[in-house]
């Protein structure tokens, strides 16, 4: 178990923005930032949907607009929700040992 993963694996308590990770290790990480006019969106939610369009996980955005998921390998949809009816979808493919980085402008 990597030291970064160990801190949060015991419970479900992920902080805003997602649990920390220094490197991918044996995880399939999808992470990124949400911005509006170049500034981070601090109030909003990132949701991970599977290839069938079903919700799998959700985190509130961090203070830097960031989010992070530890997915299974495969194709996912990242959905961003923010005040003002913002709803933006992005496709992303995850792979073990890799960090897939997304920048989502809303």
CA distance 54 to 6: 28
Q: Where are the alpha helices (DSSP H) in 1-106?
A: 3-9
Taking the least distance from each CB to other proteins, the nearer of 38 and 43 is: 43
Question: CB-wise, 37 or 54, nearer to other proteins?
Answer: 54
Instruction: Show the tokens assigned to 48.
Output: 């991970």
Residues that bind other proteins (CB under 8 A): 1-2, 4-6, 8-9, 11-16, 18-19, 21, 26-27, 43-45, 47-48, 50, 52, 54-60, 68-72, 79, 81-84, 87
Contact 71/59 with Cβ under 8 angstroms? no
Q: Enter the tokens of residue 22.
A: 């220094």
Least Å distance between CB 68 and other proteins? 7
Residue 48 or 104 with smaller CB distance to other proteins: 48
Question: Looking at residue 53, what DSSP letter applies?
Answer: S
> Smallest distance from the beta carbon of 12 to other proteins, in angstroms?
6
């Amino acid at each position: 178990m990597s030291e970064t993963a160990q801190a949060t694996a015991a419970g479900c308590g992920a902080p805003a923005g997602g649990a920390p990770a220094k490197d991918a290790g044996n995880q399939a990480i999808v992470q990124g930032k949400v911005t509006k006019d170049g500034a981070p969106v601090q109030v909003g939610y990132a949701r991970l949907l599977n290839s069938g369009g079903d919700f799998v996980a959700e985190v509130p955005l961090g203070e830097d607009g960031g989010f992070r998921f530890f997915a299974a390998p495969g194709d996912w949809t990242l959905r961003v929700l923010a005040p003002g009816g913002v709803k933006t979808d992005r496709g992303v493919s995850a792979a073990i040992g890799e960090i897939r980085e997304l920048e989502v402008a809303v």
